[in-house]
Chain A
Amino acid sequence: MGRYLFLTLGVITLVLMVFSPWAVPMREFDGTGYLLNPLGAMNPKGLNLPEGLSFGWLGIFFVLWLLLLLAASIAMFLPSPEIRARALYILGGIGVGLFALEAYLFYQAIAAVNDAALAAGARRPPLRRFALSLGAYVGLFYALALLLAARMQLPGGLAFLVRLRGVVVPLVSLLLAVVAGAGVVAILRPGLGTQGVEGLGLRELIAGKLDLVTYTFQILFSPVLTLPGLFNSLAFATPLIFTGLAVAFGFRSGLFNIGAPGQLTMGALMAMLAGVYLPLPSWLLLPTAIMAAALGGALWGGIVGWLKARFGANEVINTIMMNYIAASVLLFMLAANEYRFFGNKVVLPFKAEGFEGRSQEMQPGARIPTMIDILAPGGVFSWALPLAVVAALVTYYALRRRELGKRLLAASGAMVGGFVLGGLLPGVPVTISSALASQLLNGSFLIAILVLLFYNFYLFRTAGGYELRATGLAPRAAEYAGVNLRRKMILAMVISGSLAGLAATHYVLGAGMDGTYRLKTAIPSSVGFDGIAVALMGQNMPLGIFLSATLFGVLLAGGVLLNAQLGISNQIIQVLQALIILFIAVGGFLPRYFTDPLRAAQVETEAKAEQEARQAKSSPAAGV
């Protein structure tokens, strides 16, 4: 069956290569482009390419890819698995090489024309928004599939995949979600540049649609290409790290916390109350405000945990109800100043003057500076943060023999020392572009990293964390071993809630919403739901959560650009998240040994037994 699946893959690749654009040397702001294809360029809106630009080599590559597809299809039917694997490895390597060569030739040609035009005195480069496109990408994907198929031919191939199931399932789900999302976009929008043009052939129409979906995802992923874009992505990712950790912490303890939005809202309220009203010295104010954010979330989560432990009330519905109640509380506090209770007038001081529902401004001591101000205060690059990170890491790894508590304590000490020392060192003046300076990424990102570390060490390195995970995996067994389930339930919800509450440090104390140090009723608490996708995609692992939060941060940043350029609602990100959650829930439609740990172990054991049998056969002397 695998072979025919592989042949189908080859046919799909071929069809996409024939119909989709391979590269787009220039594109208008609205997305209309000049689509290159080996079988003839497509140019529905009649854009003019500058002189001296030739892409004749595309035809040669098309022939090469055809040969590669043919050779791979034949290689799949070679009799010996070893020879089959070797042939597929070589072909896959050639494919990757072909793609690299295409990329080199294309960007080289574009750069030559643009540089020449700029040298001749053009104000702007003539070719803009150029990029390789789907026709070239499918070649790369096919080559990677060849490499994977080669590994699968060798003994233990399946066990190799199953061992990596923590990566395979999220990646397959992401891929499926991207394909499904592309389908949605293709159905809803006309192809780029094909609207209102008469007499287009079927080939142009299909190419236009394929170009549309490719460009959509190119825009969505484009923030990774620039430094301001990366900062923007991380700013979107920061609250996702917190809420993703909150949801993951619940999952690990066997609870489903859908209440991150409410916990975040309460954290934001408490942080605002502390940051605006507490008369504390500034060195104490910020830590107190951060603790207040955690406390607000802990309270909101803890109530649900207590209700479950005491009355057995389902935490799923209760956390959702708490979301609505928190939203009401937020509105009550900040939407108006005056209320009537049974005819009596009550005045609340929290809402600031103006039409918008927003709090007073934070005291200066309660503000978290932006990341740019931490990295390069006053335009001078400071060694404080890099040195702190390096010192902490070096200390942590140097003390490998000591027990964990001492290592962590020493590493924290080294971090503070490094920070102070780095601050004293002379900095390097740097120029910061205005695009970079306006990014909302702030010190809350560093708190997120610290919380990630807490999650890692608490859950996986302490007895308490072990008990929590045991409770999540097998509550009965944990109880038999002496774990107090009710206490753990409340504790889990308290910690989970406080993690979600800390997301408020980004929005309120760090001004991550729009650059003002206030709490607003428009605070995007729905990132609490995004946390579910982050936790599932990250498989509840610390590194996984960081990576998936960053991925969604990039997509969210890209969604803003997408809305501006193509007029596609950035709600598409939400749909992608929903699809990813759904696909991960069904295990990416993969066989059950990818999702069921018992069956996975069975596959691995079988592979090991097979390998041992083979070794015994090849070296009979080692036997009896």
Chain B
Amino acid sequence: MEIVEALFFSTLRQAAPLLLTALGGLFSERSGVVNIALEGMILFGAAAAAITVNRIEVATGGLEAFWIPWVGLLVGAAVGGLVGLVHAIASIKYRADQIVSGTAINIAALGAPSIVLQVLYNNTSASQEVQNRLPSISIQLGSFDGKFSIIVLLAFLLVPVIWWVLFKTPWGLRLRAVGEHPQAAETMGVNVIRMRYTAVILSGVLAGIAGAYLSIGFLNQFIRAMSAGAGFIALAALIFGKWHPLGVLGATLLFGFAQALAIQLQGGDILPATIVQAIPFVLTMLVLAGFIGRSRPPAAVGKPYDK
């Protein structure tokens, strides 16, 4: 039954970026800001992390040290947060249509890295490969030796933490209140604007970490559009998971499993690879149509806040 174990670890690896991104989106949407820009934030984070690590390697002459990938991760997270700030300023301060603003970021994420890549590597589609990747953990499961990046562990550990923050702390209560009824929250003395800024930036940071995982954890380079819809699938997981951390965990595991299955089926003669690749997307649509359970979004999501 080696295939079952391989599928298990593959599911964890595939689910991790979705989970991180969806947990980020959870903050944003619970505060009332639709964040369709998650896809772009992943890409910006991935590009920043890979380029940072590569630049450090070039500057130090190919040094291999434990701190280098962590700096890359930090920069990826920071850039993700910065993109989150842009989305926050547009949609909170200037009351932009949140979906339009998010789309702008997604389109920028397809073009902007290419310009930097062209300057650095004379190549618009991929960065140079990095030597220093985020460390992996090995786990013995029966006879099978499973390996996954430490970020995968982090992603799953974040689920209870975020559950606790959202549902057991005053801050979490305020955040949820801001997303359900901002006027009421404001009356109770909650700073709606600041809550929303924090939440959107946080979602950018988490998406940036997911991106860094893709470029310097899962792979060893940045590739144009490498997120391949992960941000959008994470959004669907958010809806499917009813905007709840545990629900999101379940949803991302399902999507992760679909992707892992797709990888396992590739190259075999059960189904053609091109068909298999579409499975997670079809699954997302089925989920959204409510064939697998209905959910209710935060009441104030998508609406700019006016005092």
Contact = CB atoms under 8 A, between A and B. Distances in A.
Contacts of A587: 94, 96
Interface stretch (A281-289, A393-401, A572-580): A572-580
B90 A316 contact: no
Interface in B206-223: none
A578 B100 contact: no
B97 A313 contact: no
B104 A578 contact: yes
Nearest to A326: B278
A252 to B, nearest CB: 14
Contact of A574 (B86, B96, B107, B116): B107
Interface in B263-305: 269-272, 274-275, 277-278, 281-282, 284-285, 288-291
B229 interface: yes
Contact of A529 (B107, B236, B239): B107
Interface string A550-591: 000000000000000001110111110111011011110100
A401 B102 CA distance: 47
User: What does DSSP make chain B's interface, helix, strand, loop or mixed?
Assistant: helix
Given A568-B118, A574-B107, A582-B105, A324 B278 contact: yes
Contact of A313 (B105, B235, B272, B285): B285
Contact of B288 (A189, A313, A529, A585): A313
Contact of B101 (A314, A324, A339, A585): A585
Interface in A189-232: 189
B261 interface: no
Nearest to B89: A586
Interface string B41-78: 00000000000000000000000000000000000000
Given A317-B232, A571-B115, A579-B104, A339 B272 contact: yes
B274 A332 contact: yes
B108 interface: yes
Contact of A586 (B90, B239, B289, B291): B90
B281 A311 contact: no
Interface string A314-339: 10111011101100110110011001
Contacts, number: 154
Nearest to A181: B115
B111 interface: yes
A241 to B, nearest CB: 19
A53 B252 CA distance: 70
B112 interface: yes
A324 B282 CA distance: 9
A342 to B, nearest CB: 6
Nearest to A345: B269
B288 to A, nearest CB: 4
A328 B285 contact: no
Interface string A280-320: 00000000000000000000000000010011111011101
Contacts of B274: 328, 331-332, 335
B110 interface: yes
Given A342-B270, A568-B118, A582-B105, A312 B278 contact: no
A281 B205 CA distance: 60
Contacts of B100: 256, 532, 536, 581, 584-585
Contacts of A4: none
A472 to B, nearest CB: 13
B288 A314 contact: yes
B232 A320 contact: yes
A343 interface: yes
A577 B118 contact: no
Interface string A524-568: 001001001100100000000000000000000000000000011
A184 interface: yes
B118 A324 contact: no
Nearest to B276: A328
B99 interface: yes
A585 B119 CA distance: 30
Contacts of A188: 115-116, 119
A341 interface: yes
Q: Which of B101, B271, B272 has the most CB of A within 10 A?
A: B272
A242 B145 CA distance: 53
A526 B106 CA distance: 12
A582 B232 CA distance: 19
B134 to A, nearest CB: 27
A324 B272 contact: no
B232 A569 contact: no
A329 B276 CA distance: 11
B114 interface: yes
A254 to B, nearest CB: 12
Contact of A585 (B90, B108, B232, B235): B90
A578 B281 contact: no
B36 interface: yes
A579 B119 contact: no
B101 A317 contact: no
B124 interface: yes
B111 to A, nearest CB: 3
B101 A586 contact: yes
A340 interface: yes
A184 B116 CA distance: 10
A593 B108 CA distance: 28
Nearest to A328: B278
A37 B277 CA distance: 58
Nearest to B114: A571
Given A328-B274, A532-B103, A578 B229 contact: no
Contacts of A310: 289
A328 B119 contact: no
A578 B108 contact: yes
A569 B94 contact: no
A318 B285 CA distance: 6
B297 to A, nearest CB: 9
Contacts of A585: 90, 94, 96-97, 100-101, 104
Contacts of B269: 340, 342-343
- From B104, B108, B235, residue with most partner A Cβ within 10 Å: B104
Given A321-B229, A332-B275, 7 more contacts: A258-B103, A318-B288, A324-B228, A569-B114, A581-B103, A582-B101, A585-B100
26 contacts: A188-B115, A313-B285, A314-B239, A316-B36, A317-B284, A320-B229, A321-B229, A321-B236, A321-B288, A324-B278, A328-B274, A339-B272, A340-B272, A341-B271, A567-B118, A568-B118, A569-B115, A569-B124, A572-B111, A573-B111, A578-B104, A581-B100, A582-B86, A582-B108, A586-B94, A589-B94
Interface of A: 184, 188-189, 256, 258, 307, 310-314, 316-318, 320-322, 324-325, 328-329, 331-332, 335-336, 339-343, 526, 529, 532-533, 536, 567-569, 571-575, 577-579, 581-582, 584-587, 589, 592
For the complex of A and B, 6 pairs with smallest distance between CB atoms: A574-B111, A578-B108, A340-B269, A586-B94, A585-B96, A581-B104
